[in-house]
Amino acid sequence: MKLKKFKDKSNKRTSIILFTLACIFLVSGVILYRTFAIFEVKTNQNVIKGTIQDPGNIYFAFYQKNEDSGVYEIKKDMPNKNEGYVLDEEASYCGVNGENNPNIKVSVNEDWKIIVSGVTTSRTKCNLYFTKGIFLMGHGVPIVTSGDGLYEIKHEEISAINEGFKETEYRYVGARPKNYITFNGEIWRIIGLVNVMTSEDTVEQRVKIIRERSLGNIAWDSANKNDWMQSSLMKLLNEGEYYQKQGDYLDTGLTEISKHMIEEVTWTLRTTNNNNYELNADLWYQTERESTILWKGNIGLIYASDGIYAVPDVHDGKYWLSYITVYTTLNTFTTSYAGVVTIIFGTNDVRLGGDGVNQPHAIFPTLYLKQNVKIISGTGSANDAYIIAQVIK
């Protein structure tokens, strides 16, 4: 009986030990899976720029945002190139032992190749988070639906001269979006990827930018007429001292490199007989694009719609143009005594107004970049503006 009892205890103890070991192996397996198995080696897809010749295998784990829940979910592989995803660079990171190494930078270019730079340790692991977005000048930018960032803007079909305009544009909205860009040795801001008629008179989408600092208070037209094609400001920006980098504008004029980046496009000019200052971006956009008055040139001003689209809520006035008092636009209307230009007032709250075209106001040159101008570095923040260059293939 004693021997039987001893056997019973022994069997029980053995079962407990086996169960404990099984639990340990199970937990270890989960940890091992979490730390190794979810990562894949993508040696044929990544471009390595490191400080050592052979960093060894780099392992990648892929996450994709669920558009319904907004939560990133683990995936077996990265999304396909044409599924409308880009890398969320703020969420993605690389390192060893599960830690984020801020010196290692990871991105996915428009050719859908993973680029990792700053690798100094073998067996580096990268966690890549993909979200809906577009490639803006070759750089993946997430699309947001709230807060500051790049928004998808839908338009109704536009008839008349601009038939063929794409229904969807992409514009920066909010108080502090990451739309800073270095152009002409200065800081400019990206308005967005917008519809425009190119020099071939076909409707395409180009990146539109605006100078962050004003050139100063300058009259739209010193002759007091509201014809942009003959105005003194148009001539200054496109034919005179600013464009040629001469005279008083020697320090703020355009360099030859910058001029080669500018796309000459066809701007629509709208002169109306009323001064409706309603804050309706779609209404302004429709009116501006339906105009049959056309001007082909390099440098203009923003439209009224550009300013309104930058505001997430026109009642709170929090948008990235609001640090300055006024913006002079291309929009004009006629009165019984003279031409009047539409002004965007940007302080405290956004509103529109008007003043005589011969009155000096802050001038912010606005232009479109050629399609081969690409972002080569930077994050678009105020302290790390995008650096651009023309890419010749």
String of DSSP letters for 168-186: EEEEEESSS-S-EEEETTE
Q: Report if residue 2 sits inside a domain.
A: no
pLDDT at 119 (0 to 100): 86
Do residue 130 and residue 172 come from a single domain?
A: no
pLDDT at 59 (0 to 100): 87
pLDDT at 325 (0 to 100): 62
Q: Report if residue 12 sits inside a domain.
A: no
Among 142, 175, 195, give the residue marking a domain's end: 142
**Buried (b) or exposed (e) across 327-356, using 16+ Cβ within 10 A?**
bbbbbbbeeeeebbbbbbbbeeebebebeb
Do residue 277 and residue 183 come from a single domain?
A: yes
pLDDT at 121 (0 to 100): 81
Contacts of 74 (CB under 8 A, 6+ apart): 38, 61, 62, 63
Q: Report if residue 18 sits inside a domain.
A: no
Do residue 138 and residue 251 come from a single domain?
A: no
Identify the sign of the CA torsion 226, 227, 229, 230.
Answer: negative
Domain span at residue 367 reads: 149-390
Q: Report if residue 26 sits inside a domain.
A: no
Do residue 182 and residue 111 come from a single domain?
A: no
Q: Which two tokens stand for residue 184?
A: 């002409």
pLDDT at 1 (0 to 100): 33
Do residue 208 and residue 311 come from a single domain?
A: yes
Do residue 296 and residue 377 come from a single domain?
A: yes
Q: Report if residue 227 sits inside a domain.
A: yes
Among 94, 109, 142, give the residue marking a domain's end: 142
pLDDT at 311 (0 to 100): 83
Do residue 136 and residue 198 come from a single domain?
A: no
pLDDT at 271 (0 to 100): 73
Among 91, 114, 142, give the residue marking a domain's end: 142
Closest by CA to 242, choosing from 209, 211, 196, 199, is 211
In degrees and rounded to multiples of 5, residue 236 shows phi and psi of -65, -45
The number of folded domains in the chain is: 2
pLDDT at 324 (0 to 100): 58
Do residue 190 and residue 117 come from a single domain?
A: no
In the chain the first and final C-alpha atoms are separated, in Å, by: 90
Do residue 256 and residue 128 come from a single domain?
A: no
Q: Report if residue 1 sits inside a domain.
A: no
Do residue 113 and residue 170 come from a single domain?
A: no
> Any long-range contacts for 67-72 (C-beta under 8 Å, 24+ apart)?
67/132, 72/129
Q: Taking the chain (393 residues) in consecutive chunks of 10 residues, what is each chunk's mean pLDDT?
A: 37 56 48 49 59 65 93 93 95 90 92 89 89 97 93 75 73 93 96 88 91 92 92 94 71 87 92 69 85 91 91 63 74 74 73 87 95 95 96 80
Do residue 137 and residue 193 come from a single domain?
A: no
